């Protein structure tokens, strides 16, 4: 295992950003920056050892400072949507930015991916880690509580990208952290992922209204195009005449994961027959947003000058269910003062 550091440029505010790159003995290579705790690169070998970057993103810091799609972004304080951009804790109402129609999306327009982070590096024999941390002050984005938040990225000799989220608040608050990486196992600039195959360990999803806010229903996926309990291509049913798919322009739905949350379990798989690469997803969180990049448009500053288009990537965002802070029947993302938020997500890469 080895880790290198180099300058990633200066932010518009004049802050020096650094790119941290970890390489394991298999040749797998991952890179992160302390600006926004973004995942910048994920180079994965195929069966013949050919390395390809499977993570959509930008060539330089300028791209990440804007980053409308959220490529590789650390999302907080609350991932996904909050209906009406408001919630209550202990009888007190909190108003958030309405940055997605009448709702709040990913915490607001200035998310956790728009800040600089303090960094620590940890090196072990079979794993190297980069820890990013900062204090999110009371009422930042409209959320109560000073939140000490840490995200640690680790690369193992088993080709696992391990992400651990830790957070502690001095007041009762809500916390729902995730990463918004877009994956294309043929390579970030290889076009559509509709021929990639997906498996998801889920029997239900949370249908939404027209603003993509969950209604509170947990709907059985049996006999619907939402069913990924058997490995199938993303494109197989994506254009089916099914209201949730038509409303979202494809897959952009929270899956109720069939796990109990007491351990880190396998919940999804992405397979690319063309390259032979496979990615397995593990987590201890109750939900996962499967997103087929329906709103992806041309971007500037992209890696290798790539022109990213709709459905050129897929996201597997482990999470609490969207709007769970307003739906009492959903698992709660309420974090009590002094208690620790601790979640783990692993993306494990291999060859078929």
The CATH number given to whatever domain includes residue 208 is 2.70.98.10
| Residue range of the domain that includes 26 | 2-351
Mean pLDDT of the chain: 97
Annotated catalytic residue, options 78, 180, 188, 196 = 180
Confidence of residue 352 (pLDDT cuts 50, 70, 90): confident
Q: What is the pLDDT of residues 273-306, one digit of tens each?
A: 999 999 999 999 999 999 999 999 877 899 999 9
What does the pLDDT average to over 301-327?
97
Q: What is the pLDDT of residues 28-84, one digit of tens each?
A: 999 999 999 999 999 999 988 999 999 999 999 999 999 999 999 999 999 999 999
* pLDDT above 90 for 147: yes
Annotated catalytic residue, options 140, 160, 269, 317 = 317
* pLDDT above 80 for 349: yes
Residue 93 has a pLDDT of 98
Angle (CA) 85-89-91 rounded to 5° is 105
What does the pLDDT average to over 87-100?
98
- In the annotation, is 317 catalytic? yes
* pLDDT above 90 for 331: yes
How far apart are the C-alpha atoms of 134 and 283, rounded to whole Å?
A: 23
Count how many domains the chain has.
1
* pLDDT above 80 for 178: yes
pTM, whole model, 2 decimals?
A: 0.98
Which residues have C-beta within 8 Å of that of residue 236, sequence separation ≥ 6?
Answer: none
* pLDDT above 90 for 234: yes
- In the annotation, is 138 catalytic? no
Q: What is the pLDDT of residues 206-231, one digit of tens each?
A: 999 999 999 999 999 999 999 999 99
What does the pLDDT average to over 15-32?
97
What does the pLDDT average to over 3-31?
97
């Amino acid at each position: 295992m080895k880790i290198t550091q180099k300058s990633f440029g200066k932010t518009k505010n004049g802050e020096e950003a650094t790119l941290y790159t970890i390489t394991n003995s298999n040749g797998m290579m991952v890179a992160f920056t302390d600006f926004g705790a973004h995942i910048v690169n994920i180079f994965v070998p195929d069966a013949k050892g050919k390395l390809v970057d499977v993570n959509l993103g930008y060539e330089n810091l300028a791209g990440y400072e804007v980053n409308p799609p959220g490529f590789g972004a650390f999302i907080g304080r609350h991932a996904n949507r909050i209906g009406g951009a408001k919630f209550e804790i202990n009888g007190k109402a909190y108003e958030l930015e309405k940055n997605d129609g009448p709702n709040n999306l990913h915490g607001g327009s200035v998310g956790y991916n728009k800040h600089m982070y303090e960094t620590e590096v940890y090196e072990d024999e079979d794993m190297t880690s980069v820890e990013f941390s900062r204090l999110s002050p009371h009422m930042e984005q409209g959320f109560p509580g000073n939140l000490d938040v840490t995200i640690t990225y680790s690369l193992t000799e088993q080709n696992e990208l391990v992400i651990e989220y830790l957070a502690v608040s001095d007041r009762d608050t809500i916390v729902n952290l995730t990463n918004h990486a877009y994956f294309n196992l043929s390579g970030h600039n290889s076009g559509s992922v509709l021929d990639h195959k997906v498996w998801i360990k889920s029997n239900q999803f949370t249908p939404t209204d027209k603003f993509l806010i969950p209604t509170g229903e947990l709907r059985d996926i049996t006999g619907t195009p939402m069913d990924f309990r058997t490995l199938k291509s993303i494109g197989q049913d994506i254009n089916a005449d099914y209201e949730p798919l038509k409303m979202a322009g494809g897959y952009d739905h929270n899956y109720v994961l069939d796990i109990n949350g007491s351990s880190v379990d396998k919940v999804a798989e992405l397979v690319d027959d063309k390259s032979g690469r496979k990615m397995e997803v593990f987590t201890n969180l109750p939900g996962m947003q499967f997103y087929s990049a329906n709103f992806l448009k041309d971007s500037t500053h992209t890696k290798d000058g790539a022109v990213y288009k709709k459905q050129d990537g897929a996201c597997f965002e482990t999470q609490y269910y969207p709007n769970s802070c307003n739906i009492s029947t959903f698992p709660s993302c309420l974090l009590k003062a002094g208690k620790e938020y601790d979640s783990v997500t692993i993306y494990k890469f291999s060859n078929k």
